[in-house]
Amino acid sequence: MGTAEEAASFCARFARGAQCIADPEKRSYKAIGLGDFSLLRLFSDTGLRRRRAENRAAGFRQDWGATKLRNAAQLPGAAFIDKEGIIRWIYRGKHPGDLPPMKEMLAASQ
């Protein structure tokens, strides 16, 4: 979703051997129907509040100093797009922590 430099940095860190394509205008994000999350819902949704309380009780804390808020409202998603550009599988998250299980993603890639 970032600039060419951000995409290159991400690929170098996390996607060795993969091709990362910059998209600073978020055209691909919008084209596959990924939306933005209501930040108000982040604090008002009962299920998310419960998960936050469980995480706090388990000792997890938000590191606000390391958090980049410029994309905070973007919902997560995952997609497999073939070399012809056809979307073969897509998952659209409903809240900031909603990603499919890795097993599901790997199965979809087969």
- Total-model pTM: 0.61
Shared domain check, 12 and 36: no
* End-to-end Cα, the chain, rounded Å: 25
Q: What is the DSSP letter of 74?
A: B
Shared domain check, 37 and 27: no
Q: Which residue has the tokens 């995409």?
A: 7
Split into its structural domains, the chain has a count of 2
**E strands of the chain, at which residues?**
77-81, 87-92
For 14-69, write each residue's pLDDT tens digit.
Answer: 777 777 888 888 888 888 888 888 777 777 888 778 888 888 899 988 776 666 65
pLDDT at 60: 86
Shared domain check, 54 and 1: no
Shared domain check, 98 and 70: yes
Shared domain check, 77 and 41: yes
Domain that holds residue 91: 32-109
